[in-house]
Amino acid sequence: MTDNKFVLDFVEKYRKLFKPDDVVWVDESKEQQKLLVSDAIAEGEVTRLSNSA
């Protein structure tokens, strides 16, 4: 998350315009990366190319 008012106002403006189910703040953590990749695989958005994690 950020304290930058410009960024927060920008996100809020487009959240209201596009009405997404959720807004996710990416923090670049390994845990979040694993979650985003597993969600994308489950949704068929990406394909795992190897068995290594």
Domain residue spans of the chain:
21-53
Please write the tens of the pLDDT for every residue from 4-52: 999 999 999 999 999 999 998 999 899 999 999 999 999 999 998 887 6
Say what the alpha-carbon torsion angle 15, 20, 23, 24 is, to the nearest 10 degrees.
-140
> d(Cα 8, Cα 26) in Å, to the nearest integer?
14
Contact (CB, 8 A) for 52 and 28: no
Give counts: helices (H), strands (E), the chain. Answer: 2, 0
Please write the tens of the pLDDT for every residue from 16-26: 999 999 998 99
